[in-house]
């Protein structure tokens, strides 16, 4: 199996590529910056972007693995440009090269009807993949946690930055996190089994937690005790512009956050608690134990 991977230097891609290299599975990695080439050890590197994929770079490729995604818009990197147009361009180039199989990393809750622009754009990207005519597999995972993940960094930075932990809204929206090692296992099962062709797979860990409970788990793993204060989401969204100005002025202690991320915190992000066991045939890890393994302690 020869793969063409986008997003190989990101959190998910980095963990996946390390395991693929260990197993002797090769391919090419599309890189926007060749400075990141060392992270793609064992893979051929192709300079380019989703907007500018070099001709011939997908020759001989069995499967495209599309992992590129953003959780917040910044400058020219918008949900429309990255998720929608970027995916459509990648699909078109794959078709030109005669690629037969396409994997897309979407998100649990992806829907055209979602109040989140992030989730809407993921759903539109899914449509481009499913309507391409190639065999596809789409993963819709809940939060993926592990060393280097962006969600944990934001929570840890917030815990370390303030005397209390401000929670947007009630904090009662439910999440179903899974570990990056379990996500990689799911991918490897999918890669070797034809039963996952032309399927959308919702993936979540074995337990559901409210956002309040997740924050408490992080503080417990870090050995920190701080009070939770709930702030109406309307006030939080109004204050986001001020936080952006503060960060632009050099006050980097304020963790970056967007209005769309606040919207996501107001909606349950859950699926079947046996989704991994039923769908991929193994018992997933306990998230609480995993957190204690990679979070910094006080």
* φ, ψ for residue 205, nearest 5 deg: -75, 180
Q: What's the longest Cα–Cα distance across the chain?
A: 56
- The whole-number pLDDT of residue 240 equals 66
In this structure, what DSSP letter does residue 273 have?
T
Domains and CATH numbers, the chain: 3-141 (3.40.50.720)
CA distance 184 to 83: 22
The pair of structure tokens assigned to 23 is 């197993």
Q: Decide if 249 contacts 143 (C-beta within 8 A).
A: no
* Best CA proximity match to 21, nearest among 46, 38, 35, 34: 38
The SS3 call for residue 138 is: strand
pLDDT per residue as tens digits for the range 204-226: 999 999 999 999 999 999 999 99
DSSP 3-state percent helix, strand, coil across the chain (nearest 5) = 45, 20, 40
Q: For the chain, 298 residues long, give each residue's pLDDT as a single digit of tens.
A: 999 999 999 999 999 999 999 999 999 999 987 777 666 777 999 999 999 999 999 999 999 999 999 998 888 999 999 999 999 999 999 999 999 999 999 999 999 999 999 999 999 999 999 999 999 999 999 999 999 999 999 899 889 988 999 899 999 999 999 999 999 999 999 999 999 999 999 999 999 999 999 999 999 999 999 999 998 887 777 666 556 554 455 545 555 567 788 888 888 999 999 999 999 999 999 998 899 889 876 5
The pairing of strands 199-203 and 135-141 is parallel
- Provide the 3-class DSSP secondary structure of residue 143: coil
pTM of the model: 0.92
pLDDT for residue 296: 75
CA 91 centroid distance within chain: 19
């Amino acid at each position: 199996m020869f793969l063409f991977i986008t997003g190989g230097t990101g959190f998910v891609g980095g963990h996946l590529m390390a395991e693929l290299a260990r197993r002797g599975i090769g391919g090419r990695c599309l890189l926007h910056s060749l400075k990141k080439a060392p992270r793609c050890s064992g893979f051929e590197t192709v300079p380019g972007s989703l907007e500018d994929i070099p001709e011939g770079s997908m020759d001989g490729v069995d499967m495209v693995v599309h992992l590129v995604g953003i959780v917040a818009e910044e400058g020219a990197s918008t949900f429309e440009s990255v998720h929608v147009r970027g995916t459509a361009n990648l699909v078109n180039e794959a078709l030109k090269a005669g690629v037969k199989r396409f994997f897309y990393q979407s998100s649990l809750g992806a829907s055209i009807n979602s109040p989140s622009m992030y989730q809407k754009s993921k759903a539109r990207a899914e449509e481009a993949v499913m309507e391409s005519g190639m065999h596809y597999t789409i993963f819709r995972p809940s939060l993926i946690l592990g060393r280097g993940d962006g969600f944990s960094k934001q929570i840890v930075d917030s815990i370390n930055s303030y005397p209390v932990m401000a929670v947007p809204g009630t904090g009662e929206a439910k999440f179903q996190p899974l570990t990056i090692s379990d996500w990689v296992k799911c991918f490897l099962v999918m890669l070797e089994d034809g039963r996952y062709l032309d399927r959308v797979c919702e993936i979540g860990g074995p337990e559901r937690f409210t956002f309040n409970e997740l924050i408490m788990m992080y503080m417990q793993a870090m050995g920190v005790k701080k009070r939770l204060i709930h702030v109406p989401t309307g006030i939080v969204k109004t204050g986001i512009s001020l936080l952006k100005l503060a960060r632009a002025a050099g006050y980097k202690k304020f963790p970056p956050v967007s209005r769309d991320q606040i919207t996501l915190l107001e909606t349950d992000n859950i699926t079947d608690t046996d989704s991994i066991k039923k769908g991929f045939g193994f018992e997933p890890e306990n998230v609480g134990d995993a957190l204690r393994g990679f979070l910094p302690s006080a």
